[in-house]
Structure 1
């Protein structure tokens, strides 16, 4: 049964000259300069392939990287002849560790793993978050059941297995034979996969080679830091511990798994898997390269510990429904700026510090998150977005940074004003104020309408060095903002009933307040004008 992921199984989906293709690992690496991008079923699959296979192979074979080496690699047309030789030697020496069904070292899996419960194997769809499995019925459905599972080709099964290692839900998992911590053929208290704890921000280059280099962190390797295929194959037992370093963290075994192959007329297929508890880690390591960070007040500070910090650094989550450019300040704020509330990722900071990456480099950022319920036991949504990132803003150019961030803030202010208009009109018509945490809101619709204009403006910030031209572009963007905000406001105003003209008086925070259409419109127009100072300069008495 063919299972070699290095040269035989085409399991890395790619786009080449706009055409979809699938390649074995070696070809994907050595031809990366000719490949546009990874092309997984979901952007989260691309992240899993990068972190669990592509990046650790390159970093372990060629690293650790110095700043000078990284600066040379990011402007090179591809891997050098010497680097190609190193990668080939590395893969040849570890060929047996990249076999999907190796008896002793199945790639990414636990050999001979058996479920503690009779017939406890899971259907292959248990690995795929967009497909129904057990009591999970996602929006996208196919006509498969646990008794009639999807027969996945080997490459697809390996891909989704790595995806589960990154993003699997938490809660109760089936126990495995030989796991001393399994009780009644199951384990409880399992945490979500390592990437369930933050919004993943991935720098994207002009081709796959540049994307690989942009995602390789600079710096020495921690003692004992090795990828999973350099370690002893895991058994059914597991523990909670900290990863030794980036290579182990990227290939972290959050689940014990085994793919169960069977032969068909179309070749090897995987219809069932064994999935059990794996190693646990307390939180996101502070050196996680794909995370951005926020600084918050330490609400858990122990009064008996006066030395505890007042502010803690935490990985940033992405709010459901939010677009990537709405968090632009987080993405563009360099580490360790004094009194900063945010901090960008290690990878973006090192791109900004590059001596060879030009200010007009067309860097793109892709953000990915899986949104879970409170207990991380079910998936509510999968969100992803892509936006241009001006290198000059990352490097701290105050004009570019201020312009880019201000454009995002102004859009958010208009969305807030639109939502407030909707709430005031609802109350003027004797209805309840909309719940800000539930349902769809007109401000979200406005942000979606503004998105293409914001992205085009950010793209212009990457290539425009003339401050006056950038200021004219910002004024033009505000004109578009104004047009779309007025359109959103008029849509709300034309829908209100006649009773909104006379309004309604109700008690707010112990005081009577009257809600009328006229006041709601006046507040909206004032907020709209205040948010757009380039086209509505403040009056002398207001400045």
Structure 2
């Protein structure tokens, strides 16, 4: 029976609803139980989740991790984790038994305990609304970039389940329906309380060679620095929610740990269905969760120190989730991913903290729980909101491939050279942008567009080169030798683009004109002067290119 009495049940444990990509490249839709049973390597195994959006993949992964953590009640430490890693498959019988114990809570349409919903949720007028409210690829009022030209009028049960999970994680802010029983409702409306929890994050997770590896790489042991309380459990292990939000001591102390956090009920939702599928939804605010200083609880994001929040809250130290910049490739932010979680130095706290999930991977490398040259991808996923966080404007999705050795304490020098190599690329492209600016000024033209075009091309041509260079760094790599090799690649690439810009400068730029410099002097600026300045600056920034190779490089 559905939440509105119109359809039979839909068992998420047995029914297919999670989209996956197999190791042989084909796509499937599997049940919750099948995903764990086929997470291993092999032709019929699963390479990765896919989702309707990258953010949906992130939300579904966290759901799977909550199941796995709770089924195992662990891992307790790295030794227990290593036993799981060395097995060929996940402990599927233990997972089957666990899911069987919560079968009613995993029924999407259960009359009393529908999955991640409130069965009797209603407004004063007993109304429900179109599914556009939970389907993130149908922006409210702007359907130009969607395949759903007439909105999401009806969903099958599988797709509705995916968007339900996504809504709890990424639902925008704005005015919501006011549920009867929610003390926060005024005049029948739920006023803005912020986006779903994952929407605050610059999401980061580790990806292995198959789904089993991915799940285990993100399965943080309970003795880590991430806070875990004895009461930690996922949403389906708590009593069914009602319209009211958390209050009192429960609000103060939750989330109790990873299982609670990964399934956080940031919204109160009720699906309306019949035998043909889901045709409506009621979406209201649920349990609030403030973003400041949650770095001891949330491992799947980097964190930045916020002087603005420190002043606003009257606190000495406040860390906020570091969101992704959609136009910036993940490797350009390598420092925030790789730089260690430094403590106070000379009385000052660290400006940034790398993600707890990367700290966990570093621990696996340090404890030699993984072979030092094991490949791993650092995936970055996030949502950018617009119009007072009431709509999702953009979704980011990127990955950086590397070997686990790069995170180990013993690889500190190699890790620093990798971070500095990303800075080399930034500096070289900055110099390239200056060249484009100088040529445009010499011709008496506007400089903004030429500079932006040159920078876009510079980063575009270095992108693949850097990813390949980083992926090949290994435990026996020479830190300085690898950096020198990278600087030479940057020099060749950027100098070649610069040569093309100079060749295409035009007669006006070669003739030049007199300009006033920043210190008030006059300068005859032409393409020749701009070219000399470019090569001098590039040579200084990439100084290792002038050094001879060392033995063993």
Cα distance per residue 1:304-323 (max 9 Å; x no partner): 97xx53x5433222112111
- Structure 1 residues 472 and 4, CA gap change in structure 2 (3 angstroms): same
Whether the 8 Å contact between 1:217 and 1:346 is mirrored in structure 2 is: no
Structure 1 residues 339-350: aligned runs within 5 Å: 339=345, 341-350=351-360
2: CA distance between counterparts of 1:346 and 1:380? 27
Cα distance per residue 1:247-275 (max 9 Å; x no partner): 111111111111222223xxxx2232111
Structure 1 residues 474-489: aligned runs within 5 Å: 474-489=483-498
Whether the 8 Å contact between 2:428 and 2:494 is mirrored in structure 1 is: yes
What's 2:381 paired with? 368
Q: Secondary structure at the match of 2:537?
A: helix
What's 1:46 paired with? 57
Displacement of 1:399: 3.5
Cα distance per residue 1:201-247 (max 9 Å; x no partner): 11011111111111112125413222110112222222573422221
Q: Secondary structure at the match of 2:192?
A: strand
2: CA distance between counterparts of 1:212 and 1:304? 37
1: CA distance between counterparts of 2:313 and 2:66? 43
2:512 to 502, 508, 515: 502
2: CA distance between counterparts of 1:495 and 1:213? 53
Whether the 8 Å contact between 1:359 and 1:392 is mirrored in structure 2 is: yes
Displacement of 1:378: 2.1
2:231 to 221, 224, 228: 224
Q: Secondary structure at the match of 1:243?
A: coil
Structure 1 residues 230-269: aligned runs within 5 Å: 230-239=237-246, 241=251, 242-264=254-276, 269=277
1:57 to 67, 71, 74: 67
Q: Secondary structure at the match of 2:275?
A: strand
- Structure 1 residues 486 and 329, CA gap change in structure 2 (3 angstroms): same
Whether the 8 Å contact between 1:2 and 1:9 is mirrored in structure 2 is: no
What's 1:96 paired with? 104
What's 1:384 paired with? 397
2:191 to 188, 192, 196: 188
Q: Secondary structure at the match of 2:374?
A: coil
2:143 to 137, 158, 168: 137
Whether the 8 Å contact between 2:135 and 2:163 is mirrored in structure 1 is: yes
TM-score, normalized by length of structure 1?
0.87
What's 1:206 paired with? 209
2:218 to 215, 223, 227: 215
1:22 to 23, 29, 54: 29
Q: Are 1:448 and 2:451 counterparts?
A: no
- Structure 1 residues 387 and 302, CA gap change in structure 2 (3 angstroms): closer
What's 1:270 paired with? 278
2: CA distance between counterparts of 1:247 and 1:208? 19
- Structure 1 residues 398 and 103, CA gap change in structure 2 (3 angstroms): same
Q: Secondary structure at the match of 2:137?
A: coil
Displacement of 1:440: 5.1
Whether the 8 Å contact between 2:514 and 2:522 is mirrored in structure 1 is: no
Whether the 8 Å contact between 2:177 and 2:190 is mirrored in structure 1 is: yes
> What is the aligned residue count?
516
What's 1:541 paired with? none
Whether the 8 Å contact between 2:18 and 2:51 is mirrored in structure 1 is: no
Displacement of 1:159: 0.5
Displacement of 1:94: 0.5
What's 1:76 paired with? 87
2: CA distance between counterparts of 1:55 and 1:356? 20
1:125 to 128, 132, 140: 132
1: CA distance between counterparts of 2:387 and 2:236? 34
Whether the 8 Å contact between 2:20 and 2:46 is mirrored in structure 1 is: no
1: CA distance between counterparts of 2:122 and 2:19? 28
Whether the 8 Å contact between 1:201 and 1:368 is mirrored in structure 2 is: yes
Cα distance per residue 1:91-142 (max 9 Å; x no partner): 11100000001111111111122244565x332233222224x413353343
Q: Secondary structure at the match of 1:151?
A: coil
2: CA distance between counterparts of 1:491 and 1:236? 64
Displacement of 1:485: 1.1
Moved more, 485-494 or 394-403: 485-494
What's 1:352 paired with? 362
Gaps of 5+ in 2: 1-7, 549-553
1: CA distance between counterparts of 2:355 and 2:48? 21
2: CA distance between counterparts of 1:158 and 1:312? 36
2: CA distance between counterparts of 1:504 and 1:99? 75
What's 2:543 paired with? 533
Whether the 8 Å contact between 2:443 and 2:513 is mirrored in structure 1 is: yes
Whether the 8 Å contact between 2:269 and 2:284 is mirrored in structure 1 is: yes
Moved more, 412-421 or 151-160: 412-421
1: CA distance between counterparts of 2:519 and 2:145? 41
Displacement of 1:476: 4.2
- Structure 1 residues 27 and 426, CA gap change in structure 2 (3 angstroms): same
- Root-mean-square deviation (CA), in Å? 2.8
Displacement of 1:24: 0.5
Q: Secondary structure at the match of 2:544?
A: coil
1: CA distance between counterparts of 2:319 and 2:502? 43
1:521 to 517, 531, 534: 531
TM-score, normalized by length of structure 2?
0.85
